[in-house]
Amino acid sequence: MFRKNIIIKITIAFIITAFFSLQLNAQRWDVPSNKKAKNSYIKFDNNTAKSGEEVYTKNCKSCHGDVGKANGNKTLNPQPPDLSSTLTQELTDGELFYILNTGRNAMPNFKNTLSEEDRWKVISYIRSFNKKYVQVLSKTDPSKSKLVKINMNFNAATNKMNLSVVANEASGPVVLKDAEVMLFVSRYFGKLQIDKTIRTDKDGNATFNFPKDLPGDSIGNLTIVAKVSDEIYGEIESQTKLTIGVPTDKPSLTAKRAIWNVLKLAPWWIIITYTSIVLIVGLFLVLIVRNLFRISKIGAQQ
Ligand code: HEC
């Protein structure tokens, strides 16, 4: 009776674990349709696949292993799939790009660590393992991104930051409609995103709610970064300094006397105590060595 109970329990536990691990493995990617249809503006060929391989070796191989050899990191759950597998190759280029931009579970996102060009090149490398793959090129022309100007306007009364995005084409200004816009403030380590990611309206405008209480430098300057991503003009980034933060006089980490600071700022008594301790310990070491010498001499005499 007792044995039977245990067997039933083990079986149930086994089924539950198997169910959950299957769930994790079977989980596919839920990519918004406009992202799914995104295509590369770079034509995939042997050269792009070769540069993509370098990007892969540096950034992906530690988890995914060699493509086609199914020798990825087995300790992660879910496991990083072999990217030549049918399941992965069935994803669209846009989906692969989205996965690189967002990550999931142990899969990191590469949106800010790899340039858009490198993200496409690594996808080109992944596609080189699929003989049936036929590329659809995107309409994006990144050389046109230089034509784009992002104007930032801050309304102090409403605390709203308005961005207008315009491309100065030879034929006249063209507003960028339905382009993805992100706003950031530069911080010590990396960037802090402000509000949500939004899209420009039909006049090329995007409005963000801006927090009132962001600490700036001593006079309240903040470095604002806007990132725009457009179908045709590609990715555009623009930086401005605006005096809209709270003035904060933060002394540098080494300005005051502190345990990690330079010798110059140390109090005299610490220098004297420290030096004497070092000297006394040194003296004892000399004495010990001298006595050892003496002992060995006495030993030799007998
Ligand atoms: C720290 C480990 C790690 C690194 C580094 C990593 N990945 Fe992943 N990757 C994973 C894991 C784990 C998954 C599965 C995630 C999931 O399904 O939730 C994954 C999933 C993927 C998928 C989805 C495949 C599919 O069929 O579901 C793609 C594509 C991918 N990674 C590409 C890359 C590329 C390209 C790089 C390098 C630029 C990279 N990964 C770097 C761990 C990693």
Q: Whose CA is nearest to atom 17 of ligand 1?
A: 78
Structure-token pair, residue 84: 């030549």
Kindly give, in sequence order, each residue whose CB lies less than 8 Å from that of residue 182, ignoring residues fewer than 6 positions away.
193, 197, 226, 227, 228
Percent of the chain with pLDDT over 70: 95
Among all chains, which residue has been given the structure tokens 């990611």?
Answer: 197
**Is-above-0.75 flag for pTM?**
no
For the chain, residues classed under CATH 2.60.40.730 are 142-242
Looking at the CA of residue 76, tell me the nearest atom of ligand 1.
12
Q: Whose CA is nearest to atom 41 of ligand 1?
A: 60
Kindly give, in sequence order, each residue whose CB lies less than 8 Å from that of residue 245, ignoring residues fewer than 6 positions away.
185, 214, 215, 216, 217, 220, 221, 222
Fold held by 2-127: Cytochrome Bc1 Complex; Chain D, domain 2 (1.10.760)
Domain at 142-242, CATH class: mainly beta
Tell which wins on pLDDT, 140 or 156: 156
**Residue 38 to residue 234: CA distance in whole angstroms:** 11
The predicted-structure confidence for 69-98, as pLDDT tens digits, reads as follows: 999 999 999 999 999 999 999 999 999 999
For the chain, residues classed under CATH 1.10.760.10 are 2-127
The predicted-structure confidence for 191-219, as pLDDT tens digits, reads as follows: 999 999 999 999 999 999 999 999 998 89
pLDDT at 2: 58
Average pLDDT over residues 283-299: 95
pLDDT at 147 over 80: yes
Residue 76 backbone zone (phi > 0: left; psi -120 to 50: alpha; other: beta): beta
**Residue 151 to residue 121: CA distance in whole angstroms:** 31
Per-residue pLDDT band at 155 (split at 50, 70, 90): very high
Q: Which residues line ligand 1 (CB under 6 A)?
A: 27, 59-60, 62-64, 76, 78, 80-81, 83, 87-88, 96, 99-100, 104-108, 110, 122
pLDDT at 24 over 70: no
**Residue 238 to residue 152: CA distance in whole angstroms:** 9
Per-residue pLDDT band at 18 (split at 50, 70, 90): low
Q: Whose CA is nearest to atom 40 of ligand 1?
A: 60
Looking at the CA of residue 87, tell me the nearest atom of ligand 1.
26
- First-to-last alpha carbon distance for the chain, in angstroms, is 82
* Per-chain mean pLDDT for the chain: 90
Average pLDDT over residues 153-168: 95
Average pLDDT over residues 18-26: 56
pLDDT at 11: 79
pLDDT at 157: 93
pLDDT at 297: 93
